[in-house]
Structure 1
Amino acid sequence: MQTVPPSEVETRQWATFLHLSLLAGLVVPGAGFVLPVVLWQLKKDELPGLDAHGKVVANWLISALIYGAVAGGLCFVLVGFPLLGILALLAFIFPIIGALKANDGVVWAYPLAIRFFS
């Protein structure tokens, strides 16, 4: 059995929290946008491995906002309503998959996320 260094364990834990913090908006409105960025900025210097996860999460946040704005605009022609539903489903599923992968030590780039940070 392979042992994982303590710093790697801590990085994996914080990366898991970082991905799951996207779901904080389900409890407190707006927290899903603020909490991930705050966690990333506070811990990225202490845990360098966390920076890659923070960029992935930030890319998804910005992408989801853009997709939401476009889908919201398309609601005038009724196409936006199912698109908003799909986006909401993906915004729930992607952080869970990202957290599971982060717990395994893998940086998982969210599909459909535009790469603003690399």
Structure 2
Amino acid sequence: MFAHLSALLGGILTSHLFGWGCFLGPLVIWLLKKDTLPFVADQGKEALNFNITAAIIGIGFLVLSVPLTIVTLGLWLIVAVPLAILLGIAWLVLTIIAAIKANEGVAYRYPIALRLVK
């Protein structure tokens, strides 16, 4: 549960930096517990993979949005702002669901996550 919730804390604490810290908490928990607690290691790895994926999507969206905003003279923002809000809400909801499931002892799998850490 703490692996998932630490992503929320990291995202909130680094929100002024586009939330890049969302994967630091799961990384620390996974590294500390991967050899001793199998369930914590599994959920830490799952949270880490999801938050790395979310960071990649966020950075990609930002990199794509800047030139599109310039080319469309700001019209892209009509699409970009609501889409960014939806992506943020989806990240928040999925993270909370994962924390609840992990607290219940259920191994949660995020619907969208690159399996970068094996």
1:33-90 Cα shifts (integer Å, max 9, x gaps): 3222111111222212212112211111111111112221332242433332122112
Could you tell me which residue of structure 1 aligns to residue 9 of structure 2?
A: 24
Q: Secondary structure at the match of 2:107?
A: coil
Could you tell me which residue of structure 1 aligns to residue 84 of structure 2?
A: 84
TM-score by length of 2: 0.74
Could you tell me which residue of structure 1 aligns to residue 103 of structure 2?
A: 103
Unaligned runs of 5+ in 1: 1-15
TM-score by length of 1: 0.74
Could you tell me which residue of structure 2 aligns to residue 5 of structure 1?
A: none
Q: Secondary structure at the match of 1:74?
A: helix
Following superposition, the deviation at residue 117 of structure 1 comes to 3.0
Aligned length: 103
Q: Secondary structure at the match of 1:49?
A: helix
Aligned AA (1:25): G
Could you tell me which residue of structure 2 aligns to residue 62 of structure 1?
A: 52
State yes or no: 1:94 paired with 2:94: yes
**C-alpha distance in structure 2 between counterparts of 1:31 and 1:71, whole Å:** 17
Could you tell me which residue of structure 2 aligns to residue 43 of structure 1?
A: 33
Unaligned runs of 5+ in 2: 15-19, 70-75
